[in-house]
Amino acid sequence: MEEFNGENESEEIRKRRLNLKVNPAAIKEQLNIEKQLEERPTALKIVGFILFFIVIIGVTVFFVHEYMEGHFKDVNSLSDYISSYGVLGPLMLAFFQCVKVLYAVIPGAVGCIVGAGMFGALGGFLCSYIGICTGSALAFLLSKKYGIRLLHLIFSDKRYNKCIRWMEKRHRRYPVFLWIAICFPFAPDDFLCYFSGMTSMSFRKFMLIILTAKPWTILGYSLIFGHIF
């Protein structure tokens, strides 16, 4: 008798579950729950987006102020500025090289020359390499995550549309072109990092290109100017 009741109870539970699946009220309630769960990540994204721009504005104000003070106008001024940080000079140089990629305003050669002159060929190479590769990774990830909204804040519509059309024509050969461009010292590699984030290229492939192509230019500057200064 107990087994029979247990079977009935199990059957009743199954019916209730089936009824829950086809019950419009239950479906509506489930949809509301799923909607609330979807809205939470969206809210977090908005907060993250706001915090990101607060940080960007803060860093921008800081570097614009330092630039207006004349700390980044040439090799000598930047060298004096990095020296003012004492033992934290190498970290400041790496940070400068990282931010330089994100803002793409100050020529990267200046930081490489200063690093080689202050910390030697090896020390200058490591500071610049770590900073530039980190900045390149951040530029790619930010572009990949925020897409057009971010790019339109950095580049004009004319430049953006021109580059997008150019990449669409060469999308099959773009990884090869990117590797070659990064190797050359005067290529707009800072801009290419942002635009690469708009393509279907994976972060792993992008970093492989950066890590293998970027050292040569930095190493050239480091070896040359490390012996001059």
Burial tier of 197 (Cβ tally within 10 Å: 0-12, 13-18, 19+): buried
Among the residue ranges 35-39, 45-49, 197-201, the one predicted with the least confidence is 35-39
Compute the Cα dihedral for 51, 55, 58, 61 and give only its sign: negative
Q: Pick the more confident residue, 20 or 111.
A: 111
Give the pLDDT score at 20: 45
pTM (predicted TM-score): 0.71
What pLDDT was estimated at residue 165? 74
Give Cα separations from 113 to 46, 51, 69, 185 (angstroms). 40, 34, 20, 13
Q: How much is the mean pLDDT over the chain? A: 77
User: Dihedral sign, CA of 195, 199, 201, 202?
Assistant: positive
Please tell me whether residue 16 adopts helix, strand or coil conformation. helix
- Residue 199 is predicted with a pLDDT of 80
Tens digits of residue pLDDT in 60-96: 788 777 777 777 777 888 888 899 988 899 999 999 9
Residues 6+ away with beta carbon under 8 Å from 187: 181
Q: Give, in degrees to the nearest 5, the angle at Cα 223 between 221 and 225.
A: 60
CB 112 within 8 A of CB 218: yes
Residue type, 86: G
**Range ranked top by mean pLDDT from 126-130, 140-144, 149-153, 154-158:** 126-130
133 pLDDT more than 90: yes
Task: Tell me the mean pLDDT in the region 184-188.
Answer: 76
Mean pLDDT to the nearest integer, 95-122: 83
Query: Among candidates 98, 111, 136, which has minimal Cα distance to 213?
Result: 136
Q: What confidence tens digit (pLDDT) does each residue in 203-228 have?
A: 999 999 999 999 998 988 888 887 66
Per-residue buried b or exposed e for 74-99, using 16+ beta carbons within 10 Å of the residue's own CB: eeebbbebbeeeeeebbebbbbbbbb
